Each structure stands twice: as C-alpha cells, then as structure tokens.
Amino acid sequence: MKAMIIEQYGEADQFRLEDVPLPSIHDGEVLVNVYAAGVNPVDWKIREGHLQRIYPYAFPLIIGCDVAGVVVKVGPGVKKYKVGDAVYGFKNLAQLGGYAEFVKFNENDLARKPDSLSFVEAASVPVVGLAAWQIMMVHGGGIKPGDRVFIQGGAGGVGSFAVQLAKSMDAYVITTASKQNQTFLKELGADEVIDYREHDFSTVISSVDILLDTIGGDALDRSYDLVKKGGKLLSIVERPNKDKAAKLQIHTHFIPETESNGKMLEEISLFYKYGKLKPVVEHIFPFAQAAEAHRLSETKHTRGKIVLELFQTSPLST
C-alpha cells in the first residue's frame, strides 16, 4: 500500500510517499481503506520529535490520528462491523498510521460515519471532538443550560467544536478570536466573541461557570480569576495549578492525551445526525501534499481543521 512516511524527525520536507506492507489484522480488529485523514497540530509536533521522550517511535513512521474510510476486512471475533461499512475513528498517539491507504483499528475505537458527513468532513472530527467531549462532558462533569462557558481560542479545531457543543447544551458561550473570525464564531453559536488583539480578555470577562483553555501559558495564568467560586477550569494543553485553584475554590481538570473511544464517538455522531454540530473544514489537500498541509498547520492560524483527501483504491478481497 502507499503511505506518507518519515524516516527521521525534522521539517515537513521529510515526508515521502512510499510503498509499505499492508497492516495485518488480528482478533477484534478491522482493516479500513482510508478515504480522508485529518491533520492536527500534534501531527507536526510528532514529526519534529517533540513527543519522542514519551513515545519512542520506530522508523519509518506513518503519522496521522484522524481517519475516515470503509471497512475492507474484519478479523476474528469482530461483531460491530462488516466489509463495506463507512466508519471513522481516532488512532491514539501510541499507534498512529492514519496517513496511509489502509490502517487497522480495534473495532471498539471506531464509530459509523454519520450519513450527513462526507468522508472529508468525518475525518475532521475524531481528535477534536473526542478531546472536547472528554474534557467537558466526562472529566469536567458536563454542561448545564444557562452555564456561562468561556472557551479560549474558539476558531481552532477543538475550540470550534467546543463552542458548538456548549451552545447545543444551551450554555451562554464566550470565546476569543481574531477580528476575521468574529462572524464565523457567531455563526457557530458564540454569544460573545472577544478580539484578543484589541482587548485583554481577563479584564472583560468574569464569573464563568466553565473555562476551557486550549492555549496554555500566559492565557492559562490569566484565567483563574475569571472562574466563579465552585466553577471549573479545564485544560487540554497544560496542567492547571491546583494550589492556585484551591485558594480560589475552583475545580480543575486536565487531560494530557485524548482517549480512543468508539462509544463516545457514537455519541458525538448523534449531534451531527440531528444538526446540533457541523464540521469545520477550512482546507483540503491532496494526500501527496501532506507537507504543505503541515506547514499551514504550523502557522497556528487556521480555522477549524485541515484534511488530507486520499486516493481511493479498490477494496481488498476477503
């Protein structure tokens, strides 16, 4: 099969499209013909070697976490899927493999692709959707109607999903973004959008029930006082200071890594089915242009998601 590989850490020009062996599947696994693969900031961080102390990857390495495609083979014991099923899922950071014609999945890490989404749109969902869902709905305890929810960085992949998720729960949603993304975020459901280049968010926001940090650093440091007593400060990028939070009597939650979870993805699928969420894909690149897609992601100024559209091959015989 064809795959986009790197043979050492480095810049985006490390990518090469090569023939590599087809993955072997075992009990409980399925083989998916990849039609589209999402591009996430963690992809280029892996490519540059930032995660090598945590994950000692072997080379050649196939990067990629977000996948949408069609099941072409099922292993022994698989109960949920059959050949021909359209699916999508998240390959966790220990596994990867999404930038390839075919990738294997444990059946429990997949969900059926919502009929309302194209393969490209579906490939934009798993990483950002699961990250926002796990920090806000699972670890964070959920969102109640009327909650004041402040989401740092609303125009990004996780941010744009979180804005929609919070609004679907009838929350009052506040977020930050540059001037050019104000209308976009209002259309997604944000009630207030603060231009972070013109205003210091920490001086115009107060008493929020839930604060989701997707930026870290100074933005997180200036967020504690914005959460009301008994409220929740959630982060997907940096562990909040528990001592500081305790003095303010606020709760903190942090997830260092998103979990592959097909059941949660099925719950997210229902939001798309009933029109509560819509995918946000700003750029689509041909598979061969993975390097260009990474360079764009590295600017940190993309709206929503970037997706690679793969060439479609003939399904394997079973």
User: What confidence tens digit (pLDDT) does each residue in 107-150 have?
Assistant: 999 999 999 999 999 999 999 999 999 999 999 999 999 999 99
Give me the mean pLDDT over the 87-92 stretch. Answer: 97
List, for residues 27-52, the tens digit of each pLDDT value.
999 999 999 999 999 999 999 999 99
CB-based contact 282:301 (threshold 8 Å): no
Measured CA to CA, the distance from residue 280 to residue 305 in angstroms comes to 6
Collapsed DSSP state (helix, strand, coil) of residue 88 = strand
Q: What is the pLDDT of residue 312?
A: 54
Confidence of residue 74 (pLDDT cuts 50, 70, 90): very high
Confidence of residue 315 (pLDDT cuts 50, 70, 90): very low
Q: What is the pLDDT of residue 311?
A: 63
Structural domains in the chain, CATH included, are: 2-125+279-309 (3.90.180.10), 128-254 (3.40.50.720)
CB burial of 64-102 (b: ≥16 within 10 Å; e: otherwise) equals: bbbbbbbbbbbbeebebbeeebbbbbbbbbebbbbbbbb
- Residue 276, H or E segment: none
Decide if pLDDT at 92 tops 90. yes
Nearest to 315 by CA among 80, 46, 21, 84: 84
Decide if pLDDT at 314 tops 80. no
Q: What is the DSSP letter of 163?
A: H
Residue 181 CB partners (closer than 8 Å, separation 6+): 154, 155, 193, 303
List, for residues 225-276, the tens digit of each pLDDT value.
999 999 999 999 999 999 999 999 999 999 988 999 999 999 999 999 999 9
- Whether this prediction's pTM lies above 0.85 is answered by yes
CB-based contact 63:93 (threshold 8 Å): no
Q: What is the mean pLDDT of the chain?
A: 94
